[in-house]
Amino acid sequence: MASPRRKRSGPATETPTLHLTRFLPYRLSVLTNVVSHTVAKLYEKRFGITIPEWRIIAVLGGGETLSAGEIAQRTAMDKVQVSRAISRMLDSALILRESGDTDRRKALLTLTPKALDIYTEIVPLALAYEAQFTSALTEEESAQLDRLMTKLQAQADQLASAPEQKLAGKE
């Protein structure tokens, strides 16, 4: 037997309806997950690496030497996720860890030749996927999407550093 629905107590205010399938943050999340997992299929079986490991390889693939914190910041992954991926990558001989010159507590990470080989093989696959994915857009739409994504990223960054009151619309 179903239990009776309870009425909300408090002032009689109408709560707006959230249509999840039209809620932009949700739609972006779903799209991101589909794209990430599709691209992951390109390298998971072939190279035995995970999405976080690929992101670390991609960030370090330009020849940079970064700390775990810098990698977390650039990839928007949390520090625990980055730390776990780094541990697996050290065990798999995909990255090297060295202490920093000025701060011995700050470990700097670089790719090994093995990881650079993976990077060299995956980049063309990833770029081909991107070209196929964006082929649904005209050149003008692609440029517009790039501008809009830049604006939304700037706004998201601003909101992420805003006090909770501003996020809740209580300024």
Q: Where would I find the beta strands (DSSP E) of the chain?
A: 95-99, 107-111
Domain 26-162 has CATH 1.10.10.10: yes
Would the pLDDT of 106 be above 80?
Answer: no
Q: 3-class SS at 108?
A: strand
Confidence class for position 8, pLDDT limits 50, 70, 90:
low
Read off the pLDDT of residues 118-161 as tens digits, 9 standing for 90 and up: 999 999 999 999 999 999 999 999 999 999 999 999 999 999 88
Tokens of 113: 């030749």
Which DSSP helix (H) or strand (E) runs through 3? none
Question: For the chain, how far is it from start to end, CA to CA, in angstroms?
Answer: 46
Distance CA 167, CA 171 (A): 9
Please state, rounded to an integer, the average pLDDT across all residues of the chain: 88
Tokens of 143: 């440029």
Q: Where are the domains of the chain?
A: 26-162
Task: Check residue 99 and give its pLDDT.
Answer: 79
